[in-house]
Structure 1
Amino acid sequence: MPEGHTLHRLAGALDTAFGGTTPDVSSPQGRFAEGAALLDGTVLEQAWAHGKLLFVDFADGRTLYVHLGLIGKWFVLPVPPEHVELGPPVLGEVRLRIADERHVADLRGPMACQVVDQEEVLRLVGRQGPDPLQPVDERNDPDTAYRTIARSGRTVAELLMDQTVLAGVGNIYRCEVLWRHRLHPLKPGRSLKRSSWQLIWDDLVHLMPWGVRTGSIITLDDVLADTAAAWERGERPQVPREFAVYQRDGMPCLRCGATVRHKVVAGRNLFWCGGCQRRT
């Protein structure tokens, strides 16, 4: 399932392509025909995300709600010159197409694709934890997440993946941010200090916007420094897919040399260093 930065990046792409315009909205597959008819011919006002939930606001108080789930894909692409008049051919099972003469966005295989009102938007977002990619306010307060964590006997690793506790964080960010702060992933949430939670939150606020900018998860400081320097020069480098512990089971820790360990927790592969992640 895509992590939260992917949804925020997709929202930005939809905004850039269609924001303030009246694109064609259709359902080539037919399963979203009624919803597409409600949106077709209305102004697309803005796209935005909270955690792993994507929202596209249209005129008349209607919002398109999409949850990609495990297999959903949504790409925003320029229309090739040879297809400007008729639009690109439909390939595969396209649940929803948003298109104009310049761009096309085809949605395939989402877990949810619905037209909802503002009351439902508030309900959906209200069920989620705070999102590190959103500004902190009374509705997006990291203290809310910590209060839940501090009362829980579940492991920190499980809690960080629970979207009702913390929105948008997936397995890679979970494994890597715990390594970055030497926190053992299997300790119970109620034993996590408030200061340790603040380190986790602040680091996610620091790291995840780079995922939005580059489309890649960056968690190693040297890679981040190189990427930031390249962006300042106006370059857009290919970011290496390198991590400290994620998918490095049995390999030496980049910090202390101890063996990286692996365990399946709540159906997900967890990785951590058996040497330096002992902090309590």
Structure 2
Amino acid sequence: MPEGHSVHRLAQQFSSVFVGERLAVSSPQGRFSAGAAQLDGATLLSALAHGKQMFLRFDNDRVLRVHLGLYGAWSFGGDATFRGASSIGAPRRVGETEQASDEGEPGGTASFSGPPAPVGAVRVRLVSAHGWADLRGPTACEVISPAEEKAARAKLGPDPLQAGSDGSVFVRKLTSSVTPVGIQLMNQSVVAGIGNVYRAEVLFLQGINPWRPGRQVREDEAAAIWTDTVRLMRDGVREGRIVTTTAEARNGRPKRSAPHYVYKRTGEPCRRCGTPILTGEMAARNVYWCPRCQAE
């Protein structure tokens, strides 16, 4: 499932290429025809990411709420003014990168006569004068009111990537519960945007066992989790992928060859102490940790 940094990259891309544009909105698949009709011909005012959800706000007081979930993805295309990624989300084809061209370079063709024929089950298609975006396979895709957007966001915890997010809210929630910290970090009402990768990597960096109850996490430790999460997720927005290791930990290898400390490294030696990495099931998801660096 795309984690918060990917959704923020999506919001940035929509802001760059669609905000201020009058959009033709359709549902080639047909499952979202009623929702598309509410948005067709409206102008996109803003794109906001909150955790793993994105809210596209239109000038007719309607909001498109999208949660990609496990299988959702956006694909993009357009003319030479249309910049950014060719696709963001999961899954992507083997070998396909998120970035369509070199950073900052135009990603489209010299002219735009319209989008290509839909490929696969396209739930929503947005078309401007310069490009298009197709959404496939989302967990949630609905048109809501601004009041409903406010209510949906009120259920979410603070987003480490939003300017002005209050980390003290996260600290208070985490340290006041007996629920293991590894479960709480995946709870979007505690903190919005963290997924399985960031959970594993942040807890390793802080030397905290994922099974430790929240009430046994000191406030300064919880604050450090928040600070590391902000740093790593900002890196993720910039890089377009999650890389948590330092150059020293990679021993000169490229980022792609050794991006993580513990995530999906079961049985491999810890990059710090050499102890084999463990994995276990936590709330129906795999969790990874070093039993020495993250002792109880």
Q: Is the 8 A contact 1:3 1:168 kept in 2?
A: yes
- Give the gaps of 5 or more residues in structure 1: 226-236
Q: Give the whole-Å Cα distance in 2 for the aligned partners of 1:194 and 1:267.
A: 27
Query: 2:97 matched to which residue of 1?
Result: none
Query: 1:270 matched to which residue of 2?
Result: 287
- Structure 1 residue 87 displacement after superposition: 2.1
SS in 2 for 1:164: coil
Query: 1:16 matched to which residue of 2?
Result: 16
Quick one: which amino acid aligns to residue 19 of structure 1?
Answer: V
Q: Give the whole-Å Cα distance in 2 for the aligned partners of 1:129 and 1:153.
A: 18
Quick one: which amino acid aligns to residue 124 of structure 1?
Answer: A
4+ long deviations beyond 6 Å: none
Question: Residue 65 in 1 paired to residue 65 in 2?
Answer: yes
Quick one: which amino acid aligns to residue 90 of structure 1?
Answer: P
Query: 2:116 matched to which residue of 1?
Result: 88
- Structure 1 residue 261 displacement after superposition: 0.8
- Structure 1 residue 242 displacement after superposition: 1.8
- Structure 1 residue 238 displacement after superposition: 7.4
Q: Is the 8 A contact 1:13 1:76 kept in 2?
A: no
Query: 1:127 matched to which residue of 2?
Result: 155
Q: Is the 8 A contact 1:25 1:39 kept in 2?
A: yes
Query: 1:52 matched to which residue of 2?
Result: 52
Query: 1:43 matched to which residue of 2?
Result: 43
- Give the gaps of 5 or more residues in structure 2: 80-107
Q: Is the 8 A contact 1:64 1:114 kept in 2?
A: yes
Query: 1:228 matched to which residue of 2?
Result: none
Question: Residue 221 in 1 paired to residue 249 in 2?
Answer: no
Alignment: residue pair count: 265
Q: Give the whole-Å Cα distance in 2 for the aligned partners of 1:105 and 1:82.
A: 18
SS in 1 for 2:224: helix
Quick one: which amino acid aligns to residue 129 of structure 1?
Answer: G
Aligned-pair identity in percent equals 43
Query: 2:6 matched to which residue of 1?
Result: 6
Q: Is the 8 A contact 1:160 1:174 kept in 2?
A: yes
SS in 2 for 1:95: strand
Query: 1:252 matched to which residue of 2?
Result: 269
SS in 1 for 2:13: helix
Q: Is the 8 A contact 2:77 2:133 kept in 1?
A: yes
**Larger % of helix: which?**
1
- Structure 1 residue 16 displacement after superposition: 1.1
Quick one: which amino acid aligns to residue 151 of structure 2?
Answer: R
SS in 1 for 2:229: helix
Q: Is the 8 A contact 2:245 2:258 kept in 1?
A: no
Structural RMSD (CA) = 2.1
Q: Give the whole-Å Cα distance in 2 for the aligned partners of 1:252 and 1:127.
A: 39
